[in-house]
């Protein structure tokens, strides 16, 4: 038999839209698989039928496609271990439940949630870790059958062997040890018949040939349970690595208030996929190279040893930095399409390329391009307060002279400002600030040399005129 391929997976529960945290897990697994020339698999963990929605599965697959995170096996792609929706794998799980029951490694449990809740509270109050008391552990077959006949629906519990130490090497966090006595028998099938997360997740990793499970550290304490289960069933145990969670600047798990958004929101806002992948690949993983990289390049430099153990701090400015890089790298055609229909409606066909070139360095998102298109092409400017102030403080006579000279230098800002300097003696900041403010209503922005030809003689004249008039009106009072 050929050796099993190196295989990682992304195993989301389709209970909502993907956000930055989930996507980072998917990305790391993809990069790791690609680095090892292995397989990246997508499995949908939809065993919680109340909270899982097919719409979310469709949405997350769309998000992964959009980000370029292609999987070689799994939902939507097929493969030898189908089906990849856990909700369709019931008979497989049943087979393993029966095996465990036959070997008396699992037993039916009739304890109600209420009973378990009270026990839990009592244990916590006594300063002990909550653990199943073992009440149903020793029920006889006759007792079990009688209660089932009476209409009670049992869950199924895994019988955790006593006095064992479960040890494993976490590929990110190093050696781990857990005492089986601290674990307590745990539910592997709910009374509804649905498999518990521990169970289906571990069984599927084994059955689907996953060799490396890289996942959030919130799953670290599940791992000893999963290893016990797989060993009891003589199934292969993958390597596990638990990555630190993403937190906001205040150290709390990343949330909306920290600027965390769903992938869909990021897409709608105009993020480039490569900006997101370049940012996330560096969130809790270090690269020696700070270049903007393709997925292949990110994969080539990806190493499990470079994953941090400390929480990864989300930093919006870094995300924006990579977005700016992506804008910088996009072709004129890509940027034009990305700017969207509002911009397309404002910018004349023969000025497209010049417009893209003029504003490229000053846009992060289509909304910025819209702003500059409005500034260049609208007849009514709405200057910012700072721009109004710069106009008010402009040296006397500047705009009158500008109005006269613009006729001779209609689309050459350099020669216009040179001529103005000659005529008025005003130079430097005192010249450029009021000119920019008058022509764009802003104090910063794209180079005036590139903007003036787009604004054109008529609008430039109009803008100087309006400002000239207002200043005259003011000074008459």
Q: Which is nearer to ligand GLU, 223 or 433 (CB)?
A: 223
Report the site for ligand GLU in 295-314 (rule: CB under 6 A).
none
Tell me which residue of 436, 443, 429 sits closest to 464, measured CA to CA. Answer: 436
- Measure Cα distances from 143 to 103, 193, 252, 399 in Å: 18, 20, 48, 98
Shortest separation between residue 214's beta carbon and ligand GLU, angstroms: 8
CB of 243 to ligand GLU, least distance (A): 10
The window from 8-16, 259-267, 455-463, 464-472 that contacts ligand GLU (CB under 6 A) reads: 8-16
- Specify the residue, 214 or 387, whose C-beta has the smaller distance to ligand GLU: 214
Left (φ > 0), alpha (ψ -120 to 50) or beta: where does 259 sit? Answer: left
Give the binding range for ligand GLU (CB under 6 A) out of 6-14, 30-38, 65-73, 147-155: 6-14
Which residue spans within 7-151 are E strands per DSSP? 7-10, 39-42, 73-74, 106-109
Distance, in Å, from the CA atom of 463 to the CA atom of 45, rounded to the nearest integer, reads 60
Site for ligand GLU in 47-66 (CB under 6 A): none
The arrangement of strands across the sheet holding 155-158 comes to 106-109, 155-158, 186-189
Residue whose CB is less far from ligand GLU, 189 or 215 = 215
**By the rule CB under 6 A, 159 interacts with ligand GLU:** no
CA–CA–CA angle 370, 363, 350 (5° rounding): 60
If the CB atoms of residues 59 and 335 are measured against ligand GLU, the closer one turns out to be 59
Q: Is the peptide bond before 198 cis (omega within 30 degrees of 0)?
A: no
Buried b (16+ CB within 10 A) or exposed e, 4-31: eebbbbbbbbbeebbbbbbbbbbbbbbb
Nearer to ligand GLU, 198 or 314 (CB): 198
Question: Given candidates 11, 69, 156, 299, which one binds ligand GLU under the rule CB under 6 A?
Answer: 11
- How many residues are recorded in the chain? 477
Q: By C-alpha distance, which of 40, 80, 84 is closest to 64?
A: 40
Which of residues 20 and 136 has its CB atom nearest to ligand GLU in the complex? 20
Dihedral sign (CA 55, 56, 57, 63): positive
From candidates 6, 7, 8, 12, binder to ligand GLU by CB under 6 A: 12
Read out DSSP for 379-429?
SS----HHHHHHHHTSPTTHHHHHHHHTTTSTT-HHHHHHHHHHHH---TH
Q: Kindly state the DSSP code that residue 179 receives in the 8-state scheme.
A: E
Q: Closest approach of Cβ 215 to ligand GLU, in Å?
A: 3
107-126 positions binding ligand GLU, by CB under 6 A: none
Window contacting ligand GLU (CB under 6 A); options: 7-15, 70-78, 345-353, 435-443:
7-15
CB of 198 to ligand GLU, least distance (A): 10
| Interface mask toward ligand GLU for 200-239; x: CB under 6 A | -x-----------x-x---x--------------------
- CB crowding 64-97: b at 16 or more within 10 Å, else e: beebebebbbbbeeebebeebbbbebeebbeebb
Task: DSSP for 147-173, please give it.
Answer: HHHTT---EEEE-PPTT-EEEEEETTT
User: Considering only residues 34, 42, 45, 210, which one is a binding residue for ligand GLU as defined by CB under 6 A?
Assistant: 45
Q: Which is nearer to ligand GLU, 215 or 436 (CB)?
A: 215
Closest residue to ligand GLU, judged by C-beta, is 215
Q: Of 11-19, 30-38, 323-331, 397-405, which part binds ligand GLU (CB under 6 A)?
A: 11-19
Q: Which is nearer to ligand GLU, 215 or 258 (CB)?
A: 215
d(CA 33, CA 289): 20
**By rule CB under 6 A, what count of residues binds ligand GLU?**
8
Give the x/- contact pattern for ligand GLU in 264-283, rule: CB under 6 A. Answer: --------------------
| Termini Cα distance of the chain | 95
Nearer to ligand GLU among residue 195 and residue 383 (C-beta): 195
Instruction: Tell the smallest beta-carbon distance from residue 54 to ligand GLU (Å).
Output: 16
Of 433-462, which residues contact ligand GLU (CB under 6 A)?
Answer: none
Binding site for ligand GLU (CB under 6 A): 11-13, 45, 201, 213, 215, 219
């Amino acid at each position: 038999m050929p050796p099993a391929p190196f295989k990682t997976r992304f195993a989301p529960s389709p209970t909502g839209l993907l956000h930055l945290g989930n996507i980072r897990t998917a990305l790391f697994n993809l990069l790791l698989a690609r680095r090892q020339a292995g397989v990246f698999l997508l499995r949908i963990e939809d065993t919680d039928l109340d909270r899982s929605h097919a719409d979310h599965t469709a949405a997350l697959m769309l998000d992964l496609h959009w980000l370029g995170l292609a999987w070689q096996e799994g939902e939507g792609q097929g493969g030898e271990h189908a089906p990849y929706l856990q909700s369709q794998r019931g008979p497989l799980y049943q087979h393993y439940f029966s095996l465990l029951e036959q070997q008396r490694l699992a037993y039916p449990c009739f304890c109600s949630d209420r009973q378990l809740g009270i026990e839990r509270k009592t244990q916590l109050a006594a300063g002990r870790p909550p653990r199943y008391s073992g009440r149903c552990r020793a029920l006889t077959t006759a007792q079990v059958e009688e209660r089932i006949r009476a209409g009670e629906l049992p869950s199924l519990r895994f019988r955790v062997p006593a006095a064992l130490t479960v040890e494993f090497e976490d590929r990110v966090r190093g050696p781990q040890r857990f005492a089986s006595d601290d674990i307590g028998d745990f539910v592997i099938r709910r009374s509804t018949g649905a498999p518990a997360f521990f169970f289906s997740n571990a069984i599927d990793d084994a059955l689907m040939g996953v060799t490396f499970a890289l996942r959030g550290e919130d799953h670290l304490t599940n791992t000893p349970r999963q290893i016990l289960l797989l060993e009891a069933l003589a199934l292969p145990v993958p390597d596990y690595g638990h990555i630190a969670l993403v937190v906001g600047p205040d150290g709390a798990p990343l949330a909306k208030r920290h600027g965390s958004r769903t992938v869909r929101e990021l897409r709608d806002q105009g993020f480039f996929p490569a900006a997101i992948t370049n940012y996330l690949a560096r969130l809790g993983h270090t690269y020696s190279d700070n270049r903007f990289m393709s997925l292949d390049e990110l994969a080539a430099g990806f190493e499990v040893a470079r994953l941090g153990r400390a929480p990864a701090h989300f930093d919006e400015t870094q995300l924006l930095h990579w977005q700016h890089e992506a804008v910088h790298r996009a072709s004129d055609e890509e940027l034009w399409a990305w700017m969207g229909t509002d911009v397309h409606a404002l910018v004349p066909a023969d000025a497209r390329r010049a417009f893209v070139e003029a504003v490229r360095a000053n846009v992060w998102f289509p909304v910025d391009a819209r702003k500059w298109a409005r500034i260049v092409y609208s007849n009514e400017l709405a200057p910012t307060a700072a721009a109004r102030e710069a106009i008010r403080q402009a040296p006397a006579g500047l705009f009158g002279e500008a109005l006269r000279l613009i006729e001779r230098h209609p689309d050459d800002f350099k020669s216009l400002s040179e001529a103005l300097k000659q005529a008025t003696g005003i130079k430097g900041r005192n010249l450029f600030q009021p000119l920019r403010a008058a022509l764009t209503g802003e104090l910063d922005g794209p180079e005036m040399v590139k903007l003036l030809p787009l604004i054109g003689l008529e609008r430039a004249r109009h803008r100087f005129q309006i400002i000239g008039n207002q200043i005259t009106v003011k000074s008459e009072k």
